[in-house]
């Protein structure tokens, strides 16, 4: 599905741990919270000066268009292959335009600094995502390389996992049905554990509803549903749940955990497999390293496409 974003083979997978203070995840700070970056591996770098100039122009124009009303903008620069560069940004659906602007500017700086001669690059922040590619990326589901993050604290209850699955799927359905913005949040009161579940789903709005739904159905199985919070970020879509409010406008009284609805659109793809045991193993090892550092740490790791 989609183009190969990073052409990853196993040895080129980069595994990262980044400890994130819980302080940065959901405040009104204008400083964007960097999550991760994926650039094409070094050995795939072979762009000429024209391409690099186009990339610089592209990133500048994207940054200057970051007040776009739906928090999304796509653009291509260059007229002749192989020097055409395609790019887009997507801000989280609830952030104000000034936060969106700060985030896209930071993402631009980040990609210019760390991926200046690459054919593809993606920078993920809490508040936005910015990506570019030498291949056409618009209206296309890209789910070949993603990031999973999770809170290491677990909630080992079947009813918790069930509530997460049901609520996240409802949020996904609502996001997929959007038009100008494919974004939804939903809260559910978990009376058994006296907590509120906060969920978010979003796709780039250039996707069709069916593609958005399919993309989210690839994200959801990679969530760590037995943990207190988790998210999955792909270039085309993202899902997240937490036991605290992490988006704006989450002050309304949460509704009770709802029943699982039928999907709004046909699902064409079979459910993807979970990340391989190798990645799970590395995640577990990372967890052992990280736990002594901070209890509020999140873990993340790059994982390859579902096969």
For ligand NAG, the binding residue among 3, 50, 177, 208 (CB under 6 A) is: 50
Assess 244 for contact with ligand NAG (CB under 6 A). Answer: no
Going by C-alpha positions, the residue among 136, 251, 153, 264 that lies closest to residue 201 is 264
- Spatial distance between the Cα atoms of 241 and 295, rounded to a whole number of angstroms: 18
Q: Which stretch binds ligand NAG (CB under 6 A): 3-11, 72-80, 233-241, 265-273?
A: 72-80
Nearer to ligand NAG, 135 or 206 (CB): 206
> Shortest approach of ligand NAG to residue 68 CB, angstroms?
8
For ligand NAG, the binding residue among 10, 28, 42, 49 (CB under 6 A) is: 49
Q: Read off the tokens for 188.
A: 């559910």
Strand bridging mode 195-203 / 230-233: unpaired
Assess 75 for contact with ligand NAG (CB under 6 A). Answer: yes
- Spatial distance between the Cα atoms of 9 and 43, rounded to a whole number of angstroms: 12
Strand bridging mode 195-203 / 182-190: antiparallel
Q: Determine if the peptide bond prior to 82 is cis (ω within 30°).
A: yes
Assess 48 for contact with ligand NAG (CB under 6 A). Answer: yes
DSSP category for residue 154: B
DSSP category for residue 240: E
Strand bridging mode 146-151 / 230-233: antiparallel
> Shortest approach of ligand NAG to residue 57 CB, angstroms?
9
DSSP string covering 265-285? S---SPPPPPPPHHHHHHHHH
For ligand NAG, the binding residue among 12, 70, 76, 177 (CB under 6 A) is: 76
Binding characters for ligand NAG, 201-230, by CB under 6 A (x = yes): -----x------------------------
Nearer to ligand NAG, 76 or 209 (CB): 76
Assess 3 for contact with ligand NAG (CB under 6 A). Answer: no
For ligand NAG, the binding residue among 46, 139, 162, 284 (CB under 6 A) is: 139
# of chain residues touching ligand NAG (CB under 6 A): 14
Q: Which stretch binds ligand NAG (CB under 6 A): 6-14, 61-69, 108-116, 230-238?
A: 61-69
- Spatial distance between the Cα atoms of 237 and 272, rounded to a whole number of angstroms: 15
> Shortest approach of ligand NAG to residue 249 CB, angstroms?
27
Are 110 and 34 contacting, i.e. CB atoms less than 8 angstroms apart? yes
3-class DSSP state of 156: coil
Q: Read off the tokens for 278.
A: 């190798």
Nearer to ligand NAG, 138 or 244 (CB): 138
Binding site for ligand NAG (CB under 6 A): 48-50, 61, 64-65, 74-76, 82-83, 138-139, 206
């Amino acid at each position: 599905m989609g183009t190969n974003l990073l052409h990853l083979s196993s040895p080129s997978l980069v595994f990262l741990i980044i400890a994130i203070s819980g302080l940065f995840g959901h405040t009104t700070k204008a400083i964007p919270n960097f999550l991760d970056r994926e650039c094409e591996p070094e050995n795939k770098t072979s762009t000429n000066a024209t391409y690099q100039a186009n990339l610089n122009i592209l990133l500048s124009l994207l940054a200057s268009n970051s007040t776009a009303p739906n928090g999304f903008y796509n653009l291509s620069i260059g007229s002749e292959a192989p020097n055409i560069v395609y790019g887009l940004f997507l801000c989280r659906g609830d952030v104000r335009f000034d936060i969106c602007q700060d985030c896209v500017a930071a993402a631009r700086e980040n990609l210019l600094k760390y991926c200046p001669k690459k054919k593809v690059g993606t920078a993920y922040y809490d508040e936005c995502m910015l990506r570019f590619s030498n291949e056409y990326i618009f209206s296309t589901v890209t789910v070949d390389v993603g990031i999973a993050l999770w809170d290491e604290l677990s909630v080992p209850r079947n009813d918790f996992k069930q509530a997460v699955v049901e609520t996240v799927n409802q949020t996904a359905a609502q996001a997929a049905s959007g038009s100008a913005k494919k974004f939804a949040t939903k809260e559910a009161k978990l009376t058994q554990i006296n907590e509120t579940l906060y969920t978010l789903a979003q796709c780039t709005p250039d996707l069709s509803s069916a593609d958005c739904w399919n993309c989210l159905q690839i994200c959801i199985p990679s969530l760590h549903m037995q943990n207190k919070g988790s998210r999955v970020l792909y270039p085309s879509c993202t899902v997240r749940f937490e036991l605290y409010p992490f988006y704006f406008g989450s002050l309304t009284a949460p509704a009770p955990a709802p029943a699982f609805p039928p999907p709004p659109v046909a699902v064409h793809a079979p459910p993807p497999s979970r990340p391989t045991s190798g990645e799970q193993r590395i995640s577990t090892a990372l967890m052992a390293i990280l736990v002594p550092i901070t209890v509020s740490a999140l873990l993340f790791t790059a994982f390859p496409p579902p096969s």
